[in-house]
Amino acid sequence: MRAPNDGPFADPAGTWNKRFAGEDFLFGTAPNEWLREHAALWQPTQRVLCVADGEGRNSVWLARRGLQVDAFDISEVAVAKARRLADTQAAQVNFAVAGIDDYAWPVAAFDGVAAIFVQFADPALRDRMFAHIVRSLKPGGLLVLQGYTPRQLEYRTGGPPVLSHLYTEPMLREALADLDIIELRDYEAEVTEGSGHRGHSALIGLVARRR
Ligand SMILES: C[S@@+](CC[C@H](N)C(=O)[O-])C[C@H]1O[C@@H](n2cnc3c(N)ncnc32)[C@H](O)[C@@H]1O
């Protein structure tokens, strides 16, 4: 029987460096749709953090909207590609190579946090990540989060095929009880995000505010 820490979750940097090794952008260069729909909640010059930002599609797009953007990811290959994407689009992003557990999370620093498809996290890592996110938001700051629900196990068009990593509405309400939920939507949609997320998908989107 497989131990929970076997497989792709045992060496996240190595696993993701291999996934990002190609010339293409695995999840494309356009921003995630849930983020695009909700980014107007932040005003230009406000400070936003992109958690596990991958190849930079979300951070670069937010920076081009006039936001001050910090971003980190555990994969140095991804962050190198993100830096190149920012250069080609003349966008300023403060990138770092770091994992959830070793990022230098500032406290009450961000007007927003974007956590888009961060379901690499098992329940224990997810608890630590959500605690960091909540503490890093200023009072009034907004979390914009996108993930997959358990129905995604039938579709297999993206995301980890591991039930405990997926989100449900009650789970997010409980895990993020320190935030006021502004919007929480369980829905299905066609997703076209590079070759990594493609096809009919069972999604969940959340917007929540720190008190
Ligand atoms: C599905 S991708 C999403 C990337 C990006 N948020 C996007 O929407 O394009 C998941 C990302 O999480 C990163 N990652 C995996 N484990 C991590 C960890 N423990 N800490 C920080 N980043 C991690 C991977 O390198 C990868 O870029």
Ligand 1 center to 2 CA (angstroms): 23
Ligand 1 center to 170 CA (angstroms): 24
* Six token digits for residue 7: 């497989």
Is 191 in a helix, a strand, or coil?
strand
Residue 72 parent element (H or E)? strand 68-73
Ligand 1 center to 99 CA (angstroms): 9
pLDDT at residue 10 in the model: 84
Nearest atom, ligand 1, residue 75 CA: 25
Q: Is the pLDDT confidence value at 3 over 70?
A: no
The residue to which tokens 């956590």 are assigned: 115
Best residue among 15, 69, 73 to mutate for probing ligand 1's pocket (most ligand atoms within 8 Å of CB) is 73
**Cα torsion angle, 40, 42, 43, 46, sign:** negative
CA distances from 73 to 4, 36, 41 (A): 22, 20, 24
* Six token digits for residue 130: 């959500």
Alpha carbons within 13 angstroms on the beta-carbon side of residue 171 total 17
Q: Is the pLDDT confidence value at 2 over 50?
A: no
What is the side-by-side strand order in the sheet with 68-73?
A: 93-97, 68-73, 47-51, 110-116, 137-148, 197-210, 179-193
pLDDT at residue 6 in the model: 57
pLDDT at residue 8 in the model: 66
The model's confidence at residue 7, banded by pLDDT at 50, 70 and 90, is low
* Six token digits for residue 25: 């952008």
**Cα torsion angle, 121, 102, 52, 134, sign:** positive
The set of protein residues with a Cβ atom below 6 angstroms from ligand 1 is 12, 16, 27, 32, 52-54, 57-58, 73-75, 78, 99-100, 116-117, 120
When the pLDDT of each residue in the chain is averaged and rounded to a whole number, the result is: 95
Residue 146 parent element (H or E)? strand 137-148
Nearest atom, ligand 1, residue 73 CA: 22
Atom 27 of ligand 1: nearest residue by CA position: 54
The predicted-structure confidence for 121-175, as pLDDT tens digits, reads as follows 999 999 999 999 999 999 999 999 999 999 999 999 999 999 999 999 999 999 9
| Percent of the chain surpassing pLDDT 90 | 94
Ligand 1 center to 76 CA (angstroms): 11
Q: Is the pLDDT confidence value at 97 over 90?
A: yes
Q: Is the pLDDT confidence value at 30 over 50?
A: yes
Ligand 1 center to 16 CA (angstroms): 8
Best residue among 83, 120, 145 to mutate for probing ligand 1's pocket (most ligand atoms within 8 Å of CB) is 120
Nearest atom, ligand 1, residue 57 CA: 9
